[in-house]
Amino acid sequence: MRPFPLGREPGAPVFVAHRGASDRALENSPAAFAAAVSDRADMIEFDVRLSSDGVPVVFHDERTGRTAKENLAVARTPAARLRAVRLKNGETLPLLADVLEIVRGSVPINIESKATGGIAAAAKILSGARYGGEVLLSSGLRDECLAARDLLPMIPCGLVTRRPSASDLAFSLRHGLSSIHPYCRLLTVLRLRKVAASSIPFLPYTVDDPSVAFRLIEAGAAGVFSNRAQTLREEWNRR
């Protein structure tokens, strides 16, 4: 695997396909990832949780009911059972290994750990698969960010936070995190200035309105997470 360095191309913001091309296919589904690969997305973001037997599965919620045809608690269900769950688009719920097979290193990926131990499990799968693509790790759990720095020190890791606090910025700087990923709706003008002044690259989530996305980029954001990443990129290129 290779690191994905934010800001490597000045003036070229990163429009991250949030949970795949989720404007055209069900979020975190094989179809959404395949569409984002076809788009040659700047990056594909997806969520990882652990099954009861410690296998990393790609799913956002604690339970499967919102986007699947069954309502199971991910952390209390074995991977083999989860693998048999049908999403609401008819596809099977993907494991991390399945998504890596879809992407095959063709575009950068951002793996966000939603559960303690997620980074360690993802690192094992990435290493076992000898994954050759560019990777950015992230988590809203500080211990997971520390695990990323310990287990995969050459791979960048970002801190996900709703409201970027002084403590968040200090933690990121102290532990050499690559970026901070704040919730766009809680980024006041003052907070934007403080984050920009910290010199830590920031990628707000989840931004679907082009005018909002471009305003954030002009304020210093390295890019944005979006359900409409391809559309935003096309509009940016037309400016």
Whether the per-residue pLDDT at 161 is higher than 80: the answer is yes
Q: Output the pLDDT for position 57.
A: 98
Q: Output the pLDDT for position 5.
A: 79
Cβ atoms of 170 and 16 closer than 8 Å? no
Q: Residue 80 domain-assigned?
A: yes
Structure tokens that stand for 167 in this block: 């403590």
Q: How far apart are CA 64 and CA 58, in angstroms?
A: 11
Q: Residue 190 domain-assigned?
A: yes
Q: What separation in angstroms does the CA of 138 have from each of 33, 46, 49, 72, 170?
A: 18, 10, 13, 25, 16
Q: What is the CATH number of the domain that holds 233?
A: 3.20.20.190
Q: Residue 202 domain-assigned?
A: yes
Q: Residue 156 domain-assigned?
A: yes
Alpha helices of the chain — where are they, by DSSP H? 30-38, 79-83, 96-103, 118-128, 142-151, 166-174, 189-197, 210-218, 229-238
Domain count, the chain: 1
Q: Residue 4 domain-assigned?
A: no
Per-residue pLDDT averaged across 33-51, rounded?
98
Whole-model pTM? 0.96
Domain around 77: 13-238
In this prediction, residue 6 has a pLDDT band, given cuts at 50, 70 and 90, of confident
Q: Residue 48 domain-assigned?
A: yes
Q: Output the pLDDT for position 9.
A: 66
Q: How far apart are CA 218 and CA 195, in angstroms?
A: 13
Q: Residue 8 domain-assigned?
A: no
In this prediction, residue 104 has a pLDDT band, given cuts at 50, 70 and 90, of very high
Q: Output the pLDDT for position 7.
A: 64
Q: Residue 103 domain-assigned?
A: yes
Secondary structure of residue 66 in the 3-state scheme: coil
